[in-house]
Amino acid sequence: MSKKILFIIIISSISCSIFDNKEEELNNTPIELPEYVCYALHQDYSKGSFYITIIDMEKDSIVCNHRVSIKEWIEDFCLGPDNMLYLPVSEKSLEGGSGEVVYIFDPSSGKREGEIKTSKSPTDIFRISDNEAFIFHYFRYYGDTASVNTVIDLQEKNVRKKILANIGGTGYNEIFFSPDSEIWIYVAKEANWGEWYEHNFIWRFYPDVDTLGERIEFEDEYNGYKFQVFSLKFVSSNKIYAVVSAVKDEHGYFTYLVVYDFPSCRINKVVQIEHIVAGGAYILVLPNNKVYISRYLSPGIPGSGVEDNYIMVVDATTDEIIKMVKVCYGPFMMAYSKELNKVYIASAYQHKFAVLNPETDEVIKIINGKNVEISSMRVITNK
């Protein structure tokens, strides 16, 4: 997966504090929040700031771009049951220095309403139940040998539990849900930091007791190629899709769709997507037995910004790619609105969003934002 944000100060006797506006002003204008909202987190490199784009999903238009931090690094966010946005600050500045808070941001007022104090470097955050969120902390960037993971209470605005389990630190951690509402944590082996883990695996998480359960290893080699997973999702109770980069040597590299049997996590089928390693990819499972797969090429790779302007549509019954749909350049993060039956796809390097009809796979609209250097990091719909 990839990046997100928020910001504040002051301390009280509990973990949540009231924002005392002594820092630089965010200068956001209050808005009337639409009923159906798509939120997207992105960075404006030219200004060193992070923003939340708010899209009215009935009109498919951008309402505003709220600044949520100034020079603090935010890689992720989640939407709370109180309709607040929770943004972990992984670094205090763009030059480094670990952050230790999750900001609570009101998208209506455009202001930070509080913060939750955490351990160092909170980075990826996933809402796992009505009132809980799970945070990955990336301590290893700062020399530590173990990773703390935090469960926060979104109602009480405090830390419920810290879990020491070495499941942070890779950049490809992800929480995903089975059709039976089981919560699983995907953990990648450390390809770039030495072999911290020998294999990719998933770990069951029990939210009622905030405890890790059984761990299942993934088969992660195919014809001599080793896998690094970009994204994975359950498509049924006994099948998992994964988009992986597969590397053998400097001449052999591919992007594959790998179909895994569950719970064995053995490879059932491998579908080649392209003879190149993508910069990132995302899987979106739709209710009509259809799956969308996005991927973009890293800047500088031949074809980036030119050829990577489509998503793949996969039949989850046959596991075959049935069509390609042209969207915005660099399609990456996606979100589905169940109430409006629309899919929103954000560009990884343009401030653009493609809106699709998942019944026909046709583009309803391309939403154009401001012309700045941008990287989308997360997209979430409220309904």
Q: Hey, where are the domains in the chain?
A: 1-169
What would the mean pLDDT of 258-266 be, rounded to a whole number?
A: 97
Facing residues of 143 across strands? none
Residue 134 predicted with pLDDT over 90: yes
- Cis before 81? omega within 30: no
Residue 194: its pLDDT value, please?
44
Residue 11: its pLDDT value, please?
26
Cβ-proximal residues to 327 (8 Å cutoff; 6+ apart), any chain? 294, 309, 310, 311, 345, 354, 356, 363, 366
Least confident of 65-74, 103-112, 171-180, 215-224: 171-180
Residue 159: its pLDDT value, please?
96
Residue 84 predicted with pLDDT over 70: yes
Residue 93: its pLDDT value, please?
78
CATH number for the segment(s) 1-169: 2.130.10.10
Q: For the chain, what is the HEC assignment?
A: CCCCCCCCCCCCCCCEECCCCCCCCCCCCCCCCCCCEEEEEEEECCCCEEEEEEEECCCCEEEEEEEEEECCEECCCEECCCCCEEEEEEEEECCEEEEEEEEEEECCCCEEEEEEECCCCEEEEEECCCCEEEEEECHHHHCCCCCEEEEEECCCCEEEEEEECCCCCCCCCEEEECCCCCEEEEECCCCCCCCCCCCCEEEEEECCCCEEEEEEECCCEECCEEEEEEEEEEEECCEEEEEEEEEEECCEEEEEEEEEECCCCCEEEEEEEECCCCCEEEEEECCCCEEEEEEECCCCCCCCCCCCCEEEEEECCCCEEEEEEECCCCEEEEEEECCCCEEEEEECCCCEEEEEECCCCEEEEEEECCCCCEEEEEEEECC
Residue 250: its pLDDT value, please?
62
Average pLDDT along the chain = 84
What would the mean pLDDT of 20-39 be, rounded to a whole number?
A: 83
Residue 171 predicted with pLDDT over 70: no
Dump pLDDT digits (tens) for 68-80. 998 899 989 999 9
Distance CA 37, CA 199 (A): 39
Q: Which pTM was predicted?
A: 0.89
Least confident of 50-59, 252-261, 314-323: 252-261
Least confident of 66-75, 97-106, 158-167, 359-368: 158-167
What would the mean pLDDT of 20-41 be, rounded to a whole number?
A: 84
Residue 139 confidence class, pLDDT cut points 50, 70, 90: low
Residue 208: its pLDDT value, please?
85
Rounded to 5 degrees, φ, ψ at 140 are -65, -15
Dump pLDDT digits (tens) for 108-120. 999 999 999 998 8
Question: Where is pLDDT greater, at 207 or 188?
Answer: 207
Dump pLDDT digits (tens) for 266-311. 999 999 887 676 778 999 999 989 999 998 887 767 666 667 789 9
Neighbours of 94 (CB within 10 A): 16
Dump pLDDT digits (tens) for 356-378. 999 999 999 999 987 555 667 89
Q: What are 212's two structure tokens?
A: 């890790």
Residue 167: its pLDDT value, please?
74
- The share of the chain scoring above pLDDT 70, in percent, equals 81
Residue 168: its pLDDT value, please?
60
Residue 169 confidence class, pLDDT cut points 50, 70, 90: low
Residue 220 confidence class, pLDDT cut points 50, 70, 90: confident
**Under a CB-based contact definition with an 8 Å cutoff, are residues 334 and 344 in contact?**
yes
Residue 226 confidence class, pLDDT cut points 50, 70, 90: confident
